[in-house]
């Protein structure tokens, strides 16, 4: 399974908004600076996420973006469902002739569908809040002497 730059940057943007949710609407300039993503690319991502109903927008001097739902209600599976063409774990391509391809599809269909279900279930059970909690836990456990 491959996650595109669009999928990864969408996740980073949404995590940033979740992290700073108490600050109201957040500008793309601020997100871009914190995440090291170009503002121009974030504009494209924000437009896509806004159409999908994940963002609220506000124009003007206090304008920006914020999550349209709480971080504990926004799953990685939903985000990747919007940004990725497929979350299929395996693509069967270039495997010999037609008979070989058909046999391979029959052989691996059960395995690939099961694996896709496991991945989908896993991603649908990870929320932005779960990731933030993990980040904060990691930061708390990182100490130096």
User: What pLDDT was estimated at residue 85?
Assistant: 78
Domains of the chain in sequence order: 5-141 (1.10.10.10)
| Residue 64, phi then psi, degrees to nearest 5 | 150, -150
Per-residue pLDDT at 95 exceeds 60: no
Question: Binning pLDDT at 50, 70 and 90, where does residue 89 land?
Answer: low
Q: Which residue has the tokens 């299929």?
A: 88
User: What pLDDT was estimated at residue 50?
Assistant: 95
User: What pLDDT was estimated at residue 33?
Assistant: 96
Per-residue pLDDT at 101 exceeds 90: no
Q: Which residue has the tokens 């609220």?
A: 56
Among 144, 36, 125, 142, CA closest to 74: 125
What pTM value is reported for the model? 0.82
Percentage of residues of the chain with pLDDT beyond 70: 83
90/16 Cα distance (integer angstroms): 31
User: What pLDDT was estimated at residue 17?
Assistant: 97
User: What pLDDT was estimated at residue 22?
Assistant: 92
């Amino acid at each position: 399974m491959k996650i595109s730059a669009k999928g990864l940057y969408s996740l980073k943007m949404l995590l940033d908004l979740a992290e700073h949710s108490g600050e109201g609407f957040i500008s793309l300039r601020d997100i871009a600076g914190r995440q090291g993503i170009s503002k121009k690319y974030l504009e494209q991502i924000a437009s896509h996420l806004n159409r999908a109903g994940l963002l609220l927008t506000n124009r003007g001097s206090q304008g920006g973006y914020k999550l349209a739902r709480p971080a504990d209600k926004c799953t990685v599976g939903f985000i990747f469902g919007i940004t990725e063409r497929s979350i299929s774990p395996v693509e069967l391509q270039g495997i010999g002739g037609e008979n070989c391809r058909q046999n391979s599809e029959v052989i691996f269909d059960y395995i690939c569908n099961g694996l896709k279900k496991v991945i989908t279930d896993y991603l649908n059970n990870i929320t932005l809040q779960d990731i933030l909690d993990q980040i904060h836990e990691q930061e708390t456990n990182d100490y130096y002497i």
